Amino acid sequence: MQKDSDKNYKSLLVKVEQHVATVTLNRPEIRNAFNDEMIAELTDAFNTLGADDDVRVIVLAAAGKAFCAGADLNWMRAMADYSYEENLADADKLAQMLKTIYECPKPTVAAIQGDVYAGGMGLVAVCDVAIAVKIANFCLSEVRLGLAPATISLYVIRALGARASQRYFLSAEVFDAKKARQLGFIHERVSEEWLADEVAIFCSKVVKNSPDAVKTCKQLLHDVADAPITDKLIADTVKGIADIRSSEQGKEGVQAFLQKRKPDWLTAD
């Protein structure tokens, strides 16, 4: 069953179907460039969907030819007249939006149907999985405008890698989907006609898994990636496996496997 969001977002379209939520950037006339309104709506949408038990995976998609061109020019013009304190507050809203998506307890998938520039790179980087069409181009273009990708850097450097980031942060070079795949910034590159199918296939795999285990794995990835292996980290992982083994879904999953039946999270519907 499909249900549309009951919230009247101006810059987003949101729907949920068979445990898969799709959040679509819907400002195609300006290449889905974001402003303060879109930032607030993305924050609200991912907070809401992250807390919805019916949702098991969230797709971030976009309408039109571009995925996201970064910041809206009109918004940037307004920022030029902001005080330092206003710029701080504005940047913090963007930072909190990125953090909300990155820390969303549900797996997130960027379905990239077109070009990704500047702040749009941050939207891709905060998603767990990124699938792009072959014709998509990518660019960290901030230095051309005398700016720096500061807020998105926390996530882009993790997704792109420090060495590649040195090149593309400093040069503002455009790179294609093939290069993005080679660098690990995206996971798959597909023909335009296959994007929806590829995203759906991945989502269908996630939906089959234990929601609690998926949530635990996502937190585990955040906690362990690039962290030094210390006694505390080892103790945390020991506690993690003990907790999930003794959880309701952990017990159900093992019993279902031993009894050669489907676990209840697949039969509840």
Q: Where on the phi/psi map is residue 260: left (φ > 0), alpha (ψ -120 to 50), or beta?
A: left
Nearest to 188, CA basis, from 145, 265, 133: 133
Strands 137-139 and 174-176 come out as antiparallel
The residues, ordered by sequence, that sit 6+ positions from 187 with a Cβ below 8 Å of its Cβ are 129, 130, 131, 181
Written as tens digits, the pLDDT of the chain (269 aa) is 556 666 899 999 999 999 999 999 999 999 999 999 999 999 999 999 999 999 999 999 999 999 999 999 888 888 778 888 888 888 899 999 999 999 999 999 999 999 999 999 999 999 999 999 999 999 999 999 998 999 999 999 999 999 999 999 999 999 999 999 999 999 999 999 999 999 999 999 999 999 999 999 999 999 888 878 888 877 877 786 777 777 887 677 677 777 888 888 787 66
> Per the structure block, which two tokens stand in for 50?
């992250």
Give me the domains of the chain, ranges plus CATH numbers: 2-207 (3.90.226.10), 211-267 (1.10.12.10)
92 CB burial (10 A radius; 0-12, 13-18, 19+): exposed
If one counts every other C-beta atom within 10 angstroms of the C-beta of residue 232, the result is 10
What is the reported pLDDT for 17? Answer: 97
Strands 129-133 and 137-139 come out as unpaired
How far apart (Å, rounded) are the C-alpha atoms in residues 201 and 212? 21
Helix or strand (DSSP H, E) at 102 = helix 84-102
How far apart (Å, rounded) are the C-alpha atoms in residues 212 and 137? 35
What is the reported pLDDT for 250? Answer: 65
